[in-house]
Each structure stands twice: as C-alpha cells, then as structure tokens.
Structure 1
Amino acid sequence: MNSPIDCSKVRFAIQAVREAAQLVRQVQRELVTAAISKDDKSPVTVADFAAQAIVSKRLLEAFPEMGFVGEESSEVLRTPAGQETLEQITHFVRRVEPTATPEEVCAWIDRGAGEATEEFWTLDPVDGTKGFLRGDQYAVALAFIRDGQVRVGALGCPELGEGITPNKGGLGTVVVSRRESGCFASSLADENSDWKKLAVSDESDISAARMLRSVEKAHTDTGGIGELVTALGILADPVGMDSQAKYAVLAAGGGEINLRLLSPSRLEYREKIWDQAAGSICVQEAGGRVSDLDGKPLDFSHGRILATNRGVLATNGHLHEAVLAGLKTIGA
C-alpha cells in the first residue's frame, strides 16, 4: 500500500478506512433494496456495527495500548431481540475475519464504548445514515487525537469519485491528513493509485460562496441557514450532501462553507467528537479553517463531546470572518 505521508498512523488510518468502507459498501449492496421501507434502519445498523468491529480489531492488532472511542455499543446485540442482527453483523465481519465469533464481534465493538484518554482513536463507522440508505453520500471517518487535538484524520467516501465529486457506484475516494503535513486523496478501491494533494477554493467573494448543506433537514437549523444566506447576500446555489463527505468536498475546493447551526429546540446540544474529528483536520490541512459558531477552535479534550464548542463552521478560510459576522447579525 502506498501512502502520501511517511507515518505509521497515516498508513494505518488509510488501510482501516479502506477496509471498513468497502465492507460497509458490501452491506449496502446486499441489504439495501428497492423494497426496503423508509423506516427500516436495519441495513445501516449492520453496517455501523460491522465497521466498528473490524476497525477495533485492527486497532487492537496495531496499537493495543491506545484508547478507542466509537459511536456504537453492543448492549442491544446481546439481548434476545438483537440476536438476528448480531448474526448478520458476524456474517459480514467474517468476510475479512473468517473465524470471528459473535462474542468476539461484541467485544471488539465494545472497545469503543469507553472515554477518551490522553491519546486515542475515534470512529464514526457510517456517517450519513440517510445517505447510506438512499445510495447517496456517506463516509467512514477515523481520527487519531492526542492532547485534545486531532493529529491524523481519514475519510472513506464510497460514493465520491476522482476530483471529490459525487460518483455513485464508482471506485470511491479515501482522504487522509496529518497535522502540518497536508491533505491528500486517492482511490478507495485501488491501493496502488496515485495521491492528489487537496487545496481549498480561493474564492473570496461571499456572494459566490457555495454552501454545503445536509440533505437530511433534521441535522441543522435550516431556517437559520436561510437567514444567514440572505444576510450575507449569497447567490450561489447550495450543494446538497450528507455526512463528512462535505468536508472532503470542501477540502478539494468543491464548496466554500460547511455549517452546523444549533436547532432552536436544542440549543444545549454539543457535537460528538467522531462527527467532526476526521473531517475537520482534512479541511484545515487543505488550507481551510474550522471553528465553532463563536470562532473558537474545536477542543477535543473533553471526552466524547465537544463540550466547550457551539456548533461548527468550516470554510475555505477566506470567507470565515464574513460568515462569523453574519452569524452574529442573525443572532446565531
């Protein structure tokens, strides 16, 4: 496997994300069918758990002394109601770990149920549930954190193609960054493909800014974003996309603003670290800027949530202060 950065953690992150993302894609292709009902989340549940199990197993092999914070816990899988789902998860995990038992799968998943330590890895096994179920954008997001700062981040985006553009059913893209070493993208499916260094857009005209907006409306304050667009005089069409794939597109210059406003009904909400860690370093290392809605850097030293940060703002850097000023104008 080639790597754009000579670092054991970068090489591990690339390989782990590639393996997990391709496993998740197998689950999607086999379990997500046209006949599936809108409220049936079982395929993404299987994908989430299978990806976390295999990344946890790989971490145990490569960095057994390091902590691991994952999104999932196997508690429900150990109940009678969860047995069928556990059998499905184990079936897919055995694609890459042929001797895995249900008990081992649960144990691997539960390694991610602890709290953050001085240095640890954090994983969102399938970021973008609705995108996954629609056959649209989703991502496997893995990051290494030390002393409250993201040091390495990797995104596996099965439905993004070369140039970080939507490409359903294509080879997919893996994006990786290390602090002070840049951001790079390559083929998800081809380990021998070349790496391309990514750079954010140089757009400095706020009216031309392309805002990367979630397709899933529940994930942000859509009304507030509409107010912000009006206040800033943004004329460019937004780019609709779920998951941390938005960070990859922003890092590659495919948009200028990625925003998570707090819902008026959930002003106390704080972001989970796995939802922002990998993507945020990719944007920063591509030349962009990431902060909370008050302009403060994201602080990953408070356990499983960004306890001292309100929302998230990622931009190409050139437009960051303008957006922060606009947020104050609308009282966000």
Structure 2
Amino acid sequence: MDVSYDKELKIAELAVQRAALLTKKVLGIVNKGTLSKSDLSPVTIADFGAQALLISAIHHNFPKDKFIGEESAEALRSDPALLDSVWSLVSSTKLDDTESEGLLSSLASPEEMLDVINRGTESDASKGRVWVLDPIDGTATFLRGEQYAVCLALLEDGQEKVGVLGCPNLSFEGPFSQTIPGRRRKVHERQVDGDGFGRMVSAVLGRGVFIRHMSRGSLLPKEKIEPQDGIADDGINCIDSTICKAMDLEKHRKIAERVGATWPGTEMWSTQLRYVAMAIADCDLMIRVPKSSAWRAQIWDHAGGVLIFKESGGRVTDLDGAELNFTVGRRLEVNRGLIAARQGMHHVILDAVKEILGSDGKAAS
C-alpha cells in the first residue's frame, strides 16, 4: 500500500480548488438559495454544490473510501427549484486545465448528484479510510463575503493523514516567503481577495504544511510554512469570535488575561480559518470553553485544520489535555472544549484553563 499519500494529496487539492471555484461563483449571485438547518445555521446552494464536487472527485479516485460530510440531499429532493440551481452550478463548474479536470469526475445527472451528496452521511470514522469534509466552514461569513473555508481531510483508523483547506477569500500583504521573523502576517475577516481565488493550505502527516494561491486551472507552485514555536514581538495573540453564543467568552477573557495574551485578538468566525491563521503566524492561541457541559463540536469543523496546525508547530487538545478523538461519530463526543496553542506554551495555557475553570466552580476534570 502506498503510504506517501501523494495521490490523495493531489486529488484532494484539485477537488478543493474546483469546489472553491463553485463557491466564488455563488458569491456573485444575489439569491444564494439560503435555507436554515435544524440548528438555525444557514446553508446555501454553495454548500450542497461544493459537497457534491468534493465527494465525486474523491470517490472517482478512491471508490472504497467512505465519507462524513456536513450536508445531506433531503432538502434538495423536496425542492425542485433548489435542486435545479445546485445542479446548474455543479454541472458548469470545471477546472480550466483539461489534465487536472480529467483527474476528477463529472456527474451525469441531478439524481447522481443527490446520491453523491448523500455519501457523506456516514457516522463512523473509527476504522479504515474516511474523508471528512465541510463544504463551507463559515457559511454565515460566506454570505457576507468574508472569510470561509472549503475543508477536506483524510482519516485512517481515526488518525488525520491529509488535510486541505481552501480559503477563497484569504488575503495578506506580500509574498508568503518574505515574512520577517518576529512579525505577524495579519489576516482579517474583511480583508478579502477580491480579484483572485484566495489561498490553499495543505498538510500530510509528518511532511509539514504548504500554502499556495488557488487558480481556475492546474495547481500553482506552493511554499512551505516553516514550523514555529516562538511568539511574535507583540506577545501572545488570541483568535476568537465575540459573537459566538455557544462559548463562555468571559472565561476565554480570563484565561487570556492569566497568560498575558491579547483577547479577543484577531476575530474570525470560521474555526478552520482560525487554524490557518495560527499556522501562518497571525495568532498563537485558540480557546473553546462551551457554556453547556453537553456541547460537542462537529468533527468536520476540526479535521484537517488540526493536522495543519500541528504540522506548523502547534498542539491541540481538549480542556483536559486529551488529544481530539475522531473515532466516536460525527461529533467529538469524548472531548469537551479545546485548547490550540504553540507547542512551547500549550502546557501554560492548560494550567491556566484548569485554574480558571476550577476557581469558577467548574473543574476541568
């Protein structure tokens, strides 16, 4: 068995790039076909279309692999107009480079598209090869033309092997390689790539992290993101969202204050974009303390991003210091909350979390 994952990485990168093109198309459409899911989060024709393109490309190349995706096709089956809109997008979105497009797949009909979308309804990632995908992480900010991510990750027996995040609006000044040590590469929710197709960040376990511009055609040259453990000249910078209602933001503030970090620091809604921001050295720390003890994260909000941050020199655990467990279903059922920080400071953050949660009468263990 090929353990290099070279083919998996290339197909995943091309699939994400093609799906990202579809989402960019939808950004120019006035009516984005927005629905509301049971948890009141929005879903658009871009979510359905991107999931169809991602799964079809991977299934074409790796037909025995399974999928866990955020969306299902049931809403499309009950709404012919919505189905037509999604099919129009999917059937017309192709890479300009014939060779690259030929490595993926083309769906033959709306019915086949529905079946492909529903391949993502698996619920067990504990054994074998399972691709986890979020067609649009950050749909709310996508609708505002801000930052979002097209996410794809390969798990093998529950372990992340490949992670690819397409960030179609990601923009920062200057070439990536010209960053000055000790200086931050600033990203912002509203600092978007209005002329191009943003950046793609990808990783394979044990082989580091790479970043490239996305395009309409073949994959462009990539640059390596060197692992980092130091802190920038302006100290520890958090990344958070002050409009998130599920998290205990007051505890986030207290923990940051305890370790001398800037909070909220960089504000970003998409969780996967936060991993990217930390990997490219804009931020050092992400804390997630849920208000409810029953709250658990969806695995597609973290698979891929966790690998990318780890390969860039970070560590990710839950509030008790345990590694994230992707083997127990569509949610991180055995992990409460999250700490993502650079390797050299993670233990300090973990100690601060235990102190703050303990002093507030809610021990971390």
TM-score higher than 0.5? yes
Preserved CA contact (<8 Å) 1:32 1:43: no
Preserved CA contact (<8 Å) 1:66 1:119: yes
Q: Tell me which moved more, 149-158 or 88-97.
A: 88-97
Counterparts in 2 of 1:43 and 1:95: CA distance versus 1, 3 Å: farther
Written as runs of structure 1 = structure 2, the 5 A alignment for 1:104-123 is 104-116=112-124, 117-123=127-133
Q: Which stretches in structure 2 are left out of the alignment for 5+ residues?
A: 95-105, 177-184, 358-363
Counterparts in 2 of 1:43 and 1:271: CA distance versus 1, 3 Å: closer
Identify which of 164, 168, 176 aligns with 1:158.
168
Q: Tell me which moved more, 147-156 or 38-47.
A: 38-47
Task: Render the CA deviation track for 1:47-101: whole Å, top value 9, x for unaligned.
Answer: 110011111111221111001111111112222xx22221111111111377642
Task: Say whether residues 1:224 and 2:221 are aligned partners.
Answer: no
Task: Render the CA deviation track for 1:257-308: whole Å, top value 9, x for unaligned.
Answer: 1222212xx2111111111011000001111111111111111111211121
Q: Which stretches in structure 1 are left out of the alignment for 5+ residues?
A: none
Q: Which residue is 2:135 aligned to?
A: 125
Aligned AA for 2:55?
S
Deviation at 1:145, TM superposition (A): 0.1
Deviation at 1:167, TM superposition (A): 3.1
Q: Secondary structure at the match of 2:59?
A: helix
**Aligned partners of 2:298 and 2:264: how far apart in 1?**
29
Deviation at 1:323, TM superposition (A): 1.1
Deviation at 1:204, TM superposition (A): 4.6
Counterparts in 2 of 1:23 and 1:180: CA distance versus 1, 3 Å: same
**Aligned partners of 1:38 and 1:66: how far apart in 2?**
30
Q: Which residue is 1:210 aligned to?
A: 237
Aligned AA for 1:52?
Q
**Aligned residue pairs, count:** 322
Q: Which residue is 1:261 aligned to?
A: 289
**Aligned partners of 2:58 and 2:262: how far apart in 1?**
45
Deviation at 1:251, TM superposition (A): 0.7
Preserved CA contact (<8 Å) 2:12 2:58: no
Deviation at 1:184, TM superposition (A): 0.4
Preserved CA contact (<8 Å) 1:200 1:316: no
Q: Which residue is 2:46 aligned to?
A: 47
Counterparts in 2 of 1:317 and 1:93: CA distance versus 1, 3 Å: same
Preserved CA contact (<8 Å) 1:93 1:100: no
Q: Tell me which moved more, 84-93 or 149-158.
A: 84-93
Aligned AA for 2:112?
E
Q: Which residue is 1:239 aligned to?
A: 266
Identify which of 289, 292, 295 aligns with 2:318.
292
Q: Which residue is 2:207 aligned to?
A: 181
Counterparts in 2 of 1:124 and 1:146: CA distance versus 1, 3 Å: same
Q: Which residue is 1:62 aligned to?
A: 61
**Aligned partners of 1:91 and 1:226: how far apart in 2?**
46
**Aligned partners of 1:271 and 1:259: how far apart in 2?**
13
Q: Which residue is 1:281 aligned to?
A: 307
Counterparts in 2 of 1:213 and 1:205: CA distance versus 1, 3 Å: same
**Aligned partners of 2:42 and 2:123: how far apart in 1?**
27
**Aligned partners of 2:76 and 2:41: how far apart in 1?**
12
- Report the TM-score, using the length of structure 1 for normalisation: 0.88
Counterparts in 2 of 1:201 and 1:210: CA distance versus 1, 3 Å: farther
Q: Which residue is 1:167 aligned to?
A: 192
Preserved CA contact (<8 Å) 2:203 2:308: yes
Q: Secondary structure at the match of 1:86?
A: helix
Q: Secondary structure at the match of 2:134?
A: strand
Percent same amino acid at aligned positions? 34
Q: Which residue is 2:9 aligned to?
A: 10
Q: Which residue is 1:144 aligned to?
A: 154
Q: Secondary structure at the match of 1:270?
A: coil
Q: Secondary structure at the match of 1:217?
A: coil
Task: Render the CA deviation track for 1:136-172: whole Å, top value 9, x for unaligned.
Answer: 1100110000111111000000111254734331430
Aligned AA for 2:120?
G
Counterparts in 2 of 1:205 and 1:56: CA distance versus 1, 3 Å: closer
